[in-house]
Structure 1
Amino acid sequence: MSTLQLRGPEQLVVRQHRLILWIGGALALAGTILVPGAWWFTSATADAFTGTGCSVQHTVVGCGIDVRHLLSVELYYSRLFDYAGLVMTALPALIGLFVAGPLIGRELEDGTYRLSWSQSVSPARWLAAKLAVPVAFTTAGVTVLSAVYAWGRSRTYDTHYPVQSSERLVYGAMGPVPVGYTLLCLALGALIALLVRRALPSMALTVAAYIVLLPVGEAVRPRGRFWPLQLVETGILLALAAGAVALAFRLLRRHHA
């Protein structure tokens, strides 16, 4: 991470939380490898099945085992996106937990933020650094994971178990929407930490806020074309995130002017 050439408070944030950042990066890398790897195995199974001369639609004697094997592999590949969708749905909450707890809440609770402020770092600069680092890392990571998920899902149309983009977990794992939810949870985590000033309660409230917001977003989501809906919903999420960040800076100025 030293290659990023960070300076000042941002560099300190990376140093303090480099283990969590490395773990997050490793998990993101594992996700980007898992989906193409699963598709490679599924595709290789389909190619091997084609070489047998058997057909799923017109199964003949002697082909039952091969047909069942192909359909099983394709079904497992399809179900992979249900589990991956759950992970992508939980990811914003995990990032909000990190911001509300170890990143901001703990420093406010322990009083270690005073050390930074006594070293020519203003409260606003301190908070900006606390937000800039997770914004940069999570935006890049979630964007890559979302793109890989979308690519892998599109491959299911080459199987007997296509995954539709309108499915709840699938819709929320693709496009810019997961990035929007991630940034919103990040902003809420910062705002709640500044309000509560304790790590564990801030983390609990951040998760609770996300649990409330997620079904609300799904309930007001109309039926329509994928990309227009994605862009509109992302715009709303980014506006809410910007509002939460603005409130966080205002709160910081009010108490530490």
Structure 2
Amino acid sequence: MSTLTRPETDTVATTPGTLRGSARVLLRVHRKALRAAGGLLVIGIGIVVALRIWMASAKELCADGDITPCGGPVYQPSYARTSTEVFLGDGGTVLLLLAGLVGVFVAGPLIARELESGTFRLAWAQSVSPAHWLAARLAVPAALAVVGMTVLIAVYRWGLWALRGYPYSSLDHWYASGVFPGTGPALLGFTLLAVAVGALCAVLVRRALLSMSLTGLVLGVVALGLGKRRYELWPTDFRQSPGPVWLDSGDWAVDMGRLTESGRKLRWEDCHDYAADPLQDIDTCWRELGAVAHFTEVHPASHYWPLQLVETGILLALAALAVFAAFRLLRRLHG
């Protein structure tokens, strides 16, 4: 018989306050981790506020952030603005890592450590069913993490808003992998997925360190996979023109090349030998292949919210599957 089988007791019925009581116990036991998370939240907010204050106090001669005389032939932004662009350019990645840390904490200290050490028996012997025990360890971190991440998303967007409208900006566009994940509800979906994957790995492996490692690996694969294939989550706008296609500043070009009269798409790979030889004219290759127009497939800025919502839906669906699997596995192993 498994050593993790729920002990037999005379009283096994749960009371309405079981989940609430389990939540209070969790908050008490892990109060140090909660304080650390609160400290990270304050630090994150403080960094963005400090950068905004630094930008506001920078010596700029022009409203567009130029420190050279207004109307002069040279444009030079302030050091405060360029530094802010660098720091905030990877803010979305940082927020993804924080969400991943939540999942790693759920997998290790919150669930797997109790299963590994056997302290779960104390709760299960006090009229707390395994399902309620796991539900509390999912609900508490999920609720706290979603609230905290919502605040960080709002603060991050507020910081990015201050950088809009400046010419010659080095800040990545809205679709950049370092920006997009931290500016919308997709981050909340990833946070819930992190909690769910952490719980599933903990119940499956029942070893703290191994569960934490597996959780980090799974979340990393999901984040990288979505980052690589994000452009496929929503149909692109197809644009063609006799000459090069004009793109707006917020357009995300995901594919481009030439078109033949029959509509066949030609890309630079089709003229690779010409492109690699400086003595060859690549336009000659295009003509020989029958190219008559240019084409570009684009995600305009208006596709931001469809991409965010589709990605959020995918993450929530994966999170629901992970939660379902965790409860089924717990029931099968421990009754």
TM-score (norm 2): 0.68
Tell me if 1:9 matches 2:22: yes
Tell me if 1:32 matches 2:37: no
* Structure 1 stretch displaced more, 237-246 or 162-171: 162-171
Q: Which has the higher helix share?
A: 1
Instruction: Give the secondary structure class of the aligned counterpart of 1:220.
Output: helix
Aligned equivalents of 2:67, 2:105: Cα separation in 1? 53
Counterparts in 2 of 1:88 and 1:56: CA distance versus 1, 3 Å:
farther
1:47-100 deviations in Å (ceiling 9; x for gaps):
x5349995365168xxxxxx86x5211100101113423311211221111000
Q: Which has the higher strand share?
A: 2
* 1:192–1:202 contact (8 Å) kept in structure 2: yes
Structure 1, unaligned stretches of length 5 or more? 1-5, 61-66
* 1:105–1:199 contact (8 Å) kept in structure 2: yes
* 2:45–2:155 contact (8 Å) kept in structure 1: yes
Q: CA deviation at 1:102?
A: 0.1
* 1:35–1:148 contact (8 Å) kept in structure 2: yes
- Runs of 4+ residues over 3 Å off in structure 1: 48-54
Counterparts in 2 of 1:151 and 1:250: CA distance versus 1, 3 Å:
same
Q: Percent identity?
A: 44
Give the counterpart letter for 2:179 in structure 1. V
Q: Which residue matches 1:63? A: none
Counterparts in 2 of 1:250 and 1:55: CA distance versus 1, 3 Å:
same
Q: CA deviation at 1:254?
A: 1.2
TM-score (norm 1): 0.88
1:186-228 deviations in Å (ceiling 9; x for gaps):
1001001000001000000001111211121122212631111
Find the partner of 1:166 among 175, 199, 203.
Answer: 175
Aligned equivalents of 1:239, 1:54: Cα separation in 2? 52
How many equivalent residue pairs?
244
Instruction: Give the secondary structure class of the aligned counterpart of 1:156.
Output: coil
Aligned equivalents of 1:216, 1:208: Cα separation in 2? 12
Q: Which residue matches 2:151? A: 144
Give the counterpart letter for 2:307 in structure 1. L
Aligned equivalents of 2:177, 2:188: Cα separation in 1? 16
Tell me if 1:89 matches 2:113: no
Q: Which residue matches 2:36? A: 23
Q: Which residue matches 1:184? A: 193
Counterparts in 2 of 1:10 and 1:32: CA distance versus 1, 3 Å:
same
Find the partner of 2:116 among 84, 109, 112.
Answer: 109
Aligned equivalents of 2:149, 2:210: Cα separation in 1? 26
Q: CA deviation at 1:169?
A: 0.9
Q: Which residue matches 2:329? A: 251
Aligned equivalents of 2:107, 2:33: Cα separation in 1? 14
Find the partner of 1:79 among 86, 91, 99.
Answer: 86
Aligned equivalents of 2:122, 2:43: Cα separation in 1? 37
Instruction: Give the secondary structure class of the aligned counterpart of 1:127.
Output: helix
Q: Which residue matches 1:216? A: 225
Q: Which residue matches 1:55? A: 69
Instruction: Give the secondary structure class of the aligned counterpart of 1:169.
Output: coil
Larger Rg: 2
Aligned equivalents of 1:175, 1:219: Cα separation in 2? 18
* 2:96–2:181 contact (8 Å) kept in structure 1: yes
Counterparts in 2 of 1:72 and 1:143: CA distance versus 1, 3 Å:
same
Give the counterpart letter for 2:47 in structure 1. L
Give the counterpart letter for 1:212 in structure 2. V
Counterparts in 2 of 1:218 and 1:53: CA distance versus 1, 3 Å:
closer
* 1:156–1:163 contact (8 Å) kept in structure 2: no
Aligned equivalents of 1:158, 1:228: Cα separation in 2? 24
